[in-house]
Amino acid sequence: QVQVVESGGGSVQAGGSLSLSCVVSPYGTDYDDTIKCMGWFRQAPGKEREGVAHISDGGITTYADSAKGRFTISRGNTENTVYLQMSSLEPDDTAMYFCAADSRPLPCGYGGSARYTYWGQGTQVTVPS
């Protein structure tokens, strides 16, 4: 049973920074089982879940327009770890942030939520206005 666990959420003043982490376990070593794509999504109250940033197993990244220039997604030394470094945070960034992962060899960063099989429970990020 694959588990996805996020950490690092919290409350930060506007203009501040926050870093999120995500670990996927267990993960396979055979090609079919390796994590090919990892991403971060967020969902604010009353709004749909939206993709924030994605990273492929080759290190290719894609970002939502709202995240470009402010957020950075990266993978850890082990392929089952992903980080989201957020800076210049705004009240509109307040949301539950979810980590997602998938082992299918599909284009990373496209297809929205359907691209991902494994999801975490989310970690809350709050930027008071």
What are 31-81's pLDDT values in tens digits?
A: 667 888 999 999 999 999 999 999 998 999 999 999 999 999 999 877 689
What is the pLDDT, as a whole number, of residue 1?
Answer: 78
Per-residue pLDDT band for 110 (boundaries 50, 70, 90) equals confident
Confidence (pLDDT) at 29 = 67
More confident residue, 31 or 106: 106
Exposure of 32 by Cβ count < 10 A (0-12 exposed, 13-18 middle, 19+ buried)?
exposed
Q: Provide the sign of the torsion angle of the four alpha carbons 3, 31, 59, 105, taken in this order.
A: negative
**pLDDT value for 93:** 98
Query: What average pLDDT does the chain have?
Result: 92
The Cα–Cα gap between 66 and 108 comes to: 18
